[in-house]
Each structure stands twice: as C-alpha cells, then as structure tokens.
Structure 1
Amino acid sequence: MSSFAESFRELLESMLDKFPFEVLCEMAVRAKLLWHRRNCLVFEDSFSSPARLSKKIQAEVALIRSEAEQRVVKQPKQDLSPQTWTPPPLGVLKANWDVVVDKTNSRVGLGVVIRDSKGLLGATLWACKATLPDPILGEAAAVLRATSLCADLGLTHIVLEGDSLGIVKAVQQTEEWSSVGLMVRDIKLLLSKFSS
C-alpha cells in the first residue's frame, strides 16, 4: 500500500491492524460524538463546545471500559495436569463424553468421542442445546446422547467414560428420583441392550 490510502476503507483497515482495541474503541467514540455534534449544529442549530465534547468522549469511553471489565467472568482455576486416555479392552469400544454449561445463555454443549482399543477414532458427535443451565442435567444429557449414539451405530460392546461421578452413581443405582431421573431411566434402558 502506498503512503496515502486510496479510500477510507483502506485507511480504516490499516488502522485496525496497527492499533490495539482500546485505541480503536476511543477513536470510534470520538467519531460518533463528533458526527453527532456536527448534526446538532447543522439540523438543530445547537452548538456544543469542544470542552463539553471532550468530557462526553471521556465519560463514554470510561463507561465502555467499565462494562467490558464487568463482562469478564473470572473462571476458577482448574487442575490442568495432563490427562491420559486409557484404552478399552480388545474388541470393546469406549465412548467418552464431556459437557460445558453456559449459564448466561442457558445452553449446554456436549461432545462424544468413540474409540477402539488402539485409540482409533470410530465416531464423534457434538451438540449444543438450549436447556436449563444445570451441570448435572447437562452431564445426564451427554450420557444419554453418548448411549443413544452407540445404540444408533449398532455397537454392542461399549464402555462409557465421563467426569461426572454423580451421573455414574445415578446410573448404577436401582432407582433415581432426582431431577435427572427420567434421563437416567432412559440411559439404563439403552444400556440394557448392550453386551458389556
């Protein structure tokens, strides 16, 4: 690109690459309020002093910064020690599931990975559901989806593995009367069709 931009778009694109987000945000606020000041003068015959404009710019930028800081959700520190995958016995497939819960948007994301004893990928599935943002409910939905995927694929020898001890215990109990009881009942019904 030459030293002079050929269009406003090129100028803007070069600025987006060069400046940090905070500077670009302040530039956008300045442009918006300058345009608003110009429109007030042209259409309403109302003049606003540069000092007043400067105060408005500072106030709006401060408001944007404080809103951005409030949106940052502090995540609890997790133990990110390396996890190792343990293969299933020969002739058996392992279905691993995991869930992420978005409480703000009442959504649950779930994933399932099926592998053989050599670690070769057999199938994968991911889904995003609008539901109550309950981690236990999300885990139950993931186990149910993993089990139904195995059944749909006609698999008979499977091992299910996930990180929710509460759901594993619920599936192992004789009766479940919690909020996920119906899902656990469906999981057990599907599991009864498998050989292992």
Structure 2
Amino acid sequence: MDVWSQGPIVFQKRTNRAASFKELVEKLHSLSDHNVMEIFSVIARGIWLRRNKLIFEDSFTHPTKVQCTSRKGVQVHQADLPDWNPPPIGFININWDATLNIAKDRIGIGLVAQDCEGSIVASKKLAQSGFMDPLLAEAQGAFQATRWARGMRFSPVILEGHAQQIVKGLNQQLDR
C-alpha cells in the first residue's frame, strides 16, 4: 500500500477489508465520485506497470514516481478530453473508433452506445483483416456502427466518429 499512502486522502483514510480486488473496486465505486475513480484507475495501472517492470526487467520504481506519473497521466487525460454532450432524451449516441495494426494487417473497431444520461448501454469490439488505409478503416467503423445500431434496434441514434471526412459524408443530404 506504499503507493496508495501517497495518493489522495480518500485512499489513505479508507480501511478496505475487501476479499478481492473486484470487491475493493465495487466498494470504492459505490462510495466515490467519477474523479476519484479515475485517479484510482490510473494509480492501479501504475502499480501494475511497476510490478511488471520489477518482475520482467528487474527494475524498481519508487512509489513517489508511480504517484507523480499517475497524477500527470490524469491531468493529461482530462486536458485531452473533448467536450461531450449527451444525446437528447430518447436518443442513443453511438461513438466509433478504428485503429490499424499494420504488422498484423488488421484493424480494430470499438463501438460504444450511450443514453441521454451518459450511461453506457452497450459496447462492442471487432477485429478485421485488411483496410490498411486509416480513412477506409474509419469508414468501416462507421458502417459497423450503423449495422450494430440497426441490429440492436437502437432508434433514433446519433453517430459520432473522429474522421471528419466520414462524418461529413454521413451527414450529407443525398438526392435520390
């Protein structure tokens, strides 16, 4: 618990007699707000990376460094977060993203559906071969998002992605 002792006071003063890590997370989640859980998650990841570095590289990382790296990580993450507005009542917002793994000739697609309160209703991940062009991968992500929305019977939906060209294409009015 040496890393936790340098963390926020909520971690220092809490006596957690949880039987498992899962129980600890659930207990902390029920008693804390989003920001505390974000800090907890980043510190827990830092501890995991510290453990791996010790086991696999025989290198010790001081708890203070883990704590400082975690704080910086949270600050960077919060600064990089775009403003997100929940969809109107009754709508489902589906966000997609695609990533390339050129070495394995694969793409990964992530889909997240959220309701008007920002709660995650469903999520899905896909991996496919090919599509080594980033724009084509994003287009495939948009296609999979629409296909998934239809299959899940989400209606009405708002689709969000990061590839401006794809988003503009989806928003164009077509003359038919």
Shorter-chain TM-score bucket reads 0.5 to 0.7
Shift of 1:87: 0.2
Question: Is 1:121 the equivalent of 2:120?
Answer: yes
Q: In structure 2, how many angstroms separate the alpha carbons of the residues matched to 1:119 and 1:95?
A: 11
Structure 1 residue 83: Cα displacement = 2.6
Aligned Cα RMSD in Å? 2.3
- What is aligned with 1:172? 171
Q: Which amino acid aligns with 2:150?
A: A
Structure 1 segments of 4+ aligned residues over 4 angstroms from their partners: none
TM-aligned CA deviation for residue 169 of structure 1: 2.0
Residues 18 and 157 (structure 1), Cα distance of their counterparts in 2 relative to 1, 3 Å cut: closer
In structure 2, what is the Cα distance between the partners aligned to 1:88 and 1:19? 46
Structure 2 unaligned residues grouped into runs of 5+: 1-53, 60-78
> Which residue in 1 is equivalent to 2:109?
110
Amino acid at match of 1:111: G
- Distance in 2, Cα, partners of 1:99 & 1:18: 31
Q: Does 1:83 align with 2:43?
A: no
Over 3 Å counting, the alpha-carbon distance change for 1:105 and 1:116 in structure 2 is same
Q: CA deviation at 1:172?
A: 3.4
What amino acid is the match of 2:137? G
Q: Look up the match of 1:153.
A: 152
Q: Tell me, in whole angstroms, the C-alpha distance in 1 between the residues paired with 2:168 and 2:150.
A: 21
Q: CA offset at residue 156 of structure 1?
A: 1.8
Aligned-residue offset at 1:95: 0.3
Match of 1:97 in 2: 96
**TM-score, normalising length from structure 1?**
0.47
Deviations 1:102-148 (A, max 9, x none): 12221110100001000111110101111131111110111111111
2:153 maps to amino acid? G
Question: 1:140 and 2:139 equivalent?
Answer: yes
* Separation of aligned partners in 2, 1:140 and 1:19: 40
Identify the residue that residue 63 of structure 2 maps to in structure 1. none
Q: Give the number of equivalent residue pairs.
A: 102
What's the offset of the Cα at 1:154?
1.2
